[in-house]
DNA sequence: CTGAAAGCGCTAACAC
DNA sequence: GTGTTAGCGCTTTCAG
């Protein structure tokens, strides 16, 4: 019996002949190991959870697909854990989840990646976790991308088109990406020798509606911008709606660009210039690092992925 | 030990006093039953899967949220099973899934809802399943909506705005909804005393790109339509892109409407007139019926949910 | 109404 | 390299 177990788990100390014989029998009998028996006898649950906020964003759906991919490839199960981040009892909720479901590990998405209380609890319980775009990267497992340089490059693109009054709609303040993208925006201004004008930087929270509102605010300015760089695609789509509502045109009157290259960037008119993040791949890689960490502690690392400007129709020469 | 088990599973034959004592102890010891032990000893896995095709559609994401909701409420786990529907080995794949994961049941989404071979297999293995918008509704468990009447009402809306040349972009032929929506379109023509013009009905496959292509085809007609009713929101968004690309305006030159009321209908300009389907709720209800069916065979039913026209900015008076 | 006994199907630890 | 033994933490069955 144990020999069969060894073959099924690719463990060493089985002769090639025996291994083959077992495999043949498995095939013939259509044998499938029972996951629960395995979990009960062994120490692991073969279950990881993905913790996330805001379940209906385009971005998270892509991430989920990637995480799922990696889990399936390694025969792990994925449990979806939508969390309302406002709730102050997030730590308690996650704790209950871990206790009840015996999770082997968790994948964290922003802004949960940087909840100190939660991370401390995870560490204390010795639950491995991998983060996607965490704010703090010291000694972390997961995946990151140089968002600041991406924003800076996007700025260079706008400047090259002749834009001088470039506005920025910020992301949700709890997300690390918001800060980096703003920093890149400022880098871009500096590169072009432009002054930082605080009236051109308005708050947003990654939602379509917040993009609409922010854009109306910008267009009400005595000297409205000729280009808007939104911290994500949903807000950029909102910006385009607001511009059209005023009878203006994109990109003739105002150029707009977003971030993330989510499906919506190709589904609106005009198609959106944006920064391509390999979102799905990021989910996959984060999950892969998590699984490594689960198998063997201290072997997971922080993977750096690269972005690419995706030039489409929503940006054009300054009027 | 068995008494504790009874209390935890809300089984009868425990005195109120004992029950209370057990509950107090559970609380005090922070005891949590081990899911795998329960699965191993009992006969159920407390696991259901959602089978779906085309994982990146707005529609499915909403459905998933609803299904997840119902499962969590009843302490069932949800396994996501993205399937490539082209593949001819779909039955084998699902079979493997059931065998390996010991699923208690599955939720089916279109067009998998009507794969005869798969359904036969599920029946043979006695695996309960619930369908969301199945084509065939006889003796089925799940949730349906009167799509035909919805399309018909939408037609009435367009006719009331003065439109006479109304085109239809069909959905993916494998989906039942495509047929019903087309039927409702024809009902609407008849109601208005309009002739059916086959050149005004073009093929689509529910994707944005297919909506763009279909619309170009319609606008190339000697007598182009003044209104387009697409079989879903993604294609309607594509139609709007195509119309704008030609320098025309929506709804001034052409009115456009979609189906499903997915998030994108509110994220594009102009906002989309569409048929609201309680998509998330449909996922929830289907899962609920499935769980009923799992607990006690022949108790699940077919729930009928209602739609509502969502009038927004993409439809207006005929030119 | 309560509980003892016997597994569910695996893996860990340890012989051989 | 292979096999034995003893559980993992529950539920089922059946006796009280």
- Cα separation, B25 vs A162, in Å, equals 72
Pair (A109, A184) in one structural domain: no
Find the mean pLDDT for residues B114-119. Answer: 92
Chain B residues in contact with A241 (beta carbon < 8 A): 267-269, 271
Question: Both tokens of residue A243?
Answer: 């511009």
Query: Does residue B68 belong to the interface with chain A, where contact is any CB pair within 8 Å?
Result: yes
Record: contact A241-B40, CB cut-off 8 A? no
B55: pLDDT strictly greater than 70:
no
Higher-pLDDT residue of A75, B159: B159
Q: What is the pLDDT of residues A137-166, one digit of tens each?
A: 998 999 999 999 999 999 999 999 999 999
B157: pLDDT strictly greater than 80:
yes
Do residues A213 and A220 make contact, with C-beta atoms less than 8 angstroms apart? no
Chain A residues in contact with B240 (beta carbon < 8 A): 269
Query: Does residue A204 belong to the interface with chain B, where contact is any CB pair within 8 Å?
Result: no
Higher-pLDDT residue of B187, A74: B187
Instruction: Answer whether any strand C atom is within 7 A of the Cβ of A17.
Output: no
Chain A interface disruption, residue of B33, B36, B250, most A CBs within 10 A = B36
pLDDT at B225: 98
Closest CA to B189 of B179, B200, B178: B200
Query: Does residue B260 belong to the interface with chain A, where contact is any CB pair within 8 Å?
Result: no
Do residues A109 and A248 make contact, with C-beta atoms less than 8 angstroms apart? no
* Model confidence, pTM: 0.92
Find the mean pLDDT for residues A196-210. Answer: 97
Question: Rounded to 5 degrees, what angle do the CA atoms B227, B229, B232 make?
Answer: 150
- Cα separation, A297 vs A67, in Å, equals 20
Ranking A171-180, A187-196, A306-315, B3-12 by mean pLDDT, the lowest is B3-12
Is residue B313 in some structural domain?
Answer: no
Helix (H, G, I), strand (E, B) or coil at B97: helix
**pLDDT confidence of B56, banded at 50, 70, 90?**
low
Question: Both tokens of residue B128?
Answer: 């309960």
Question: Rounded to 5 degrees, what angle do the CA atoms A173, A175, A176 make?
Answer: 110
Pair (A140, A286) in one structural domain: yes
Closest CA to A286 of A181, A93, A143: A143
Which CATH number goes with the domain that contains A258?
3.40.50.2300
Chain A residues in contact with B61 (beta carbon < 8 A): 56, 61
Q: Which nucleotides of D are covered by protein (CB under 7 A)?
A: 1-13
Is residue B264 in some structural domain?
Answer: yes
Separation in Å: D7 C1' and A187 CA: 62
Pair (B153, B141) in one structural domain: no
Phi/psi for A198 (5° steps) reads -60, -25
Record: contact A244-B62, CB cut-off 8 A? no
- Cα separation, B98 vs B90, in Å, equals 12
Across all strands, nucleotide nearest A9 (CA–C1'): C11
Do residues B273 and B290 make contact, with C-beta atoms less than 8 angstroms apart? no
Higher-pLDDT residue of B236, A62: B236
Shortest CA gap A20–chain B (Å): 21
> Rounded to the nearest 10 degrees, what angle do helices B90-101 and B116-124 cross at?
30
- Cα separation, B26 vs A100, in Å, equals 13
* DSSP secondary structure code for residue B113 in this structure: G
Helix (H, G, I), strand (E, B) or coil at B66: helix
Is residue A318 in some structural domain?
Answer: no
Pair (A123, A46) in one structural domain: yes
Pair (B50, B125) in one structural domain: yes
Q: Which of B208, B266, B269 sits opposite A240 (nearest CB)?
A: B269
Q: How many domains are contained in chain B?
A: 3
Question: Both tokens of residue A24?
Answer: 């043949």
Chain B interface disruption, residue of A39, A50, A267, most B CBs within 10 A = A267
Higher-pLDDT residue of B127, A85: B127
Chain B residues in contact with A61 (beta carbon < 8 A): 56, 61
Is residue B312 in some structural domain?
Answer: no
Helix (H, G, I), strand (E, B) or coil at B55: coil
Pair (A283, A225) in one structural domain: no
Tell me the pLDDT of chain B averaged across its residues.
Answer: 93
Pair (A65, A124) in one structural domain: yes
Find the mean pLDDT for residues A94-103. Answer: 87
Is residue A265 in some structural domain?
Answer: yes
Ranking A149-163, A200-214, A231-245, B98-112 by mean pLDDT, the lowest is B98-112
Separation in Å: C13 C1' and B274 CA: 64
Pair (A272, A162) in one structural domain: yes
Find the mean pLDDT for residues B229-248. Answer: 97
Question: Both tokens of residue B156?
Answer: 């009435």
Chain A residues in contact with B36 (beta carbon < 8 A): 35-37, 39-40, 45, 102
Query: Does residue A84 belong to the interface with chain B, where contact is any CB pair within 8 Å?
Result: no
Query: Does residue B83 belong to the interface with chain A, where contact is any CB pair within 8 Å?
Result: no
Please, is A313 exposed, middle or buried when counting C-beta atoms within 10 Å of its C-beta (0-12, 13-18, 19+)?
middle
Do residues A29 and A75 make contact, with C-beta atoms less than 8 angstroms apart? no
Pair (A233, A261) in one structural domain: yes
Pair (B87, B9) in one structural domain: no
Is residue A314 in some structural domain?
Answer: no
Pair (A160, A211) in one structural domain: yes
Is residue A313 in some structural domain?
Answer: no
Closest CA to B310 of B133, B153, B98, B95: B153
pLDDT at B282: 97
pLDDT at A30: 86
Q: Which domain holds residue B285?
A: 41-145+279-306
Separation in Å: D13 C1' and B295 CA: 21
Do residues B159 and B257 make contact, with C-beta atoms less than 8 angstroms apart? no
Count of C-beta atoms within a 10 Å radius of residue B28: 8
Chain A interface disruption, residue of B233, B268, B272, B287, most A CBs within 10 A = B268
pLDDT at B277: 95
Q: What is the pLDDT of residues A25-63, one digit of tens each?
A: 888 888 888 989 989 888 788 899 999 987 667 888 889
Q: Is the peptide bond before B76 cis (omega within 30 degrees of 0)?
A: no
Record: contact A68-B45, CB cut-off 8 A? no
pLDDT at B259: 96
Separation in Å: C13 C1' and A84 CA: 44
Is residue B109 in some structural domain?
Answer: yes
Question: Both tokens of residue A161?
Answer: 């088109």
Residues of B (74-93) placing their beta carbon closer than 7 angstroms to any atom of strand D are none
Chain B interface disruption, residue of A269, A270, A272, A279, most B CBs within 10 A = A269
Residues of A (113-132) placing their beta carbon closer than 7 angstroms to any atom of strand C are none
- Cα separation, B134 vs B142, in Å, equals 8
- Cα separation, B77 vs A155, in Å, equals 45
Chain B residues in contact with A37 (beta carbon < 8 A): 36, 40
Q: Where are the beta strands (DSSP E) in B172-253?
A: 201-202, 227-230
To the nearest 10°, the Cα dihedral for B70, B76, B80, B81? -110
Closest CA to B105 of B65, B72, B76, B137: B76
Record: contact A244-B68, CB cut-off 8 A? no
Give the rounded distance of the alpha carbon of B124 from its chain centre.
25
Pair (B137, B154) in one structural domain: no
Chain A residues in contact with B62 (beta carbon < 8 A): 56
Do residues A236 and A261 make contact, with C-beta atoms less than 8 angstroms apart? no
Please, is B4 exposed, middle or buried when counting C-beta atoms within 10 Å of its C-beta (0-12, 13-18, 19+)?
middle
């Amino acid at each position: 019996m144990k020999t069969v177990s060894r073959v099924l788990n690719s463990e060493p100390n089985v002769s090639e002949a025996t291994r083959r014989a077992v495999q043949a029998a498995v095939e013939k009998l259509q044998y499938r190991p029972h996951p629960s028996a395995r979990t009960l006898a062994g120490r692991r649950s073969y279950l990881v959870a993905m913790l996330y906020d805001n379940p209906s964003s385009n971005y998270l759906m892509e991430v989920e697909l990637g995480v799922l991919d990696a889990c399936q490839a390694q025969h792990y199960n994925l449990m979806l854990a939508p969390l309302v981040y406002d709730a102050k009892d997030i730590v308690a909720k996650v704790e209950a989840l871990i206790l009840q479901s015996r999770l082997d590990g968790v994948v964290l998405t922003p802004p949960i990646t940087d909840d100190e209380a939660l991370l401390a609890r995870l560490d204390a319980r010795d639950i491995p976790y991998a983060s996607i775009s965490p704010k703090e990267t010291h000694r972390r497992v997961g995946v990151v991308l140089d968002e600041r340089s991406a924003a800076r490059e996007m700025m260079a693109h706008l400047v090259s088109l002749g834009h001088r009054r470039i506005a920025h709609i910020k992301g949700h303040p709890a997300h690390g990406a918001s800060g980096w993208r703003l920093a890149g925006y400022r880098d871009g201004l500096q590169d072009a020798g432009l002054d930082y004008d605080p009236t051109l930087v308005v708050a947003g929270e990654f939602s379509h509606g917040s993009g609409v509102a922010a854009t109306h605010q910008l267009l009400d300015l005595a000297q409205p911008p000729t280009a808007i760089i939104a911290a994500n695609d949903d807000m950029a789509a909102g910006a385009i709606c607001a511009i059209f509502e005023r009878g203006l045109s994109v990109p003739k009157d105002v150029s707009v660009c977003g971030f993330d290259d989510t499906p919506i960037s190709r589904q609106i008119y005009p198609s959106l210039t944006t920064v391509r993040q390999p979102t799905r791949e990021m989910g996959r890689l984060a999950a892969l690092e998590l699984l490594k960490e689960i198998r063997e502690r201290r072997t997971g690392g922080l993977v750096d992925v690269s972005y690419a400007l995706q030039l489409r129709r929503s940006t054009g020469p300054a009027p």
